[in-house]
Amino acid sequence: VAAIGLPVGLANATPEDTMAKIKEFAGDKEPQTGGKLTLNTPEIAENGNSVPVGVSVESAMEGDDMVEEIMILAEGNPNPDVVTFKFSELSGEAIAETRMRLAKTQDVVAVARMTNGDIHMAKAPVKVTIGGCGG
């Protein structure tokens, strides 16, 4: 794990850290998990140093059906924060993709906040494996 820029020793974040960050992001709104927010990650990471992660929210991106921010968290990393995307009317669509480091097999979480305060959440497991068994 040291090889991928994240230390072995540090106690990795427990889900509570992640829940606390979601709470802070969501305010008092209960996150909905109805699928309005899509989180796209590979089932098995090809390279723990560079795991693609994409988020998208179905929304008109205007008025109160607009996405303000999407935050991505990696529950199993020493520090669960990954990135927060901020959108505008000119975004046209709330879609973003980047690449992140995962210390180990874990759940990746995305949380979206709409202009009307609604919160949407999605979670996806990503397996980080030793690999090398051909087939």
30 vs 135, beta carbon nearer other proteins: 135
Of these, 14, 33, 84, 116, which contacts other proteins (CB under 8 A)?
84
Is 109 a binding residue for other proteins by CB under 8 A? The answer is no
> By CB under 8 A, what part of segment 12-31 binds other proteins?
none
Half-sphere exposure of 82 (CA within 13 A, CB side): 30
Contact 71, 21 (CB under 8 A): yes
117 vs 125, beta carbon nearer other proteins: 125
Contact 22, 37 (CB under 8 A): no
Distance CA 113, CA 3 (A): 35
Q: How far is the CB of 111 from other proteins (least distance, A)?
A: 14
Q: Look up residue 64 and give its DSSP letter.
A: T
Contact 39, 123 (CB under 8 A): yes
User: What does the per-residue mask of binding to other proteins show for 31-70, with x meaning CB under 8 A?
Assistant: ---------x-xxx-xx-xxxx-x------x---------
Give the other-Cβ count within 10 Å of 93's Cβ.
13
Indicate the residue type of 37: L
Is 115 a binding residue for other proteins by CB under 8 A? The answer is no
Per CB under 8 A, residues contacting other proteins are 2, 5-7, 10, 40, 42-44, 46-47, 49-52, 54, 61, 74, 77-79, 81-102, 105, 125, 127, 129-135
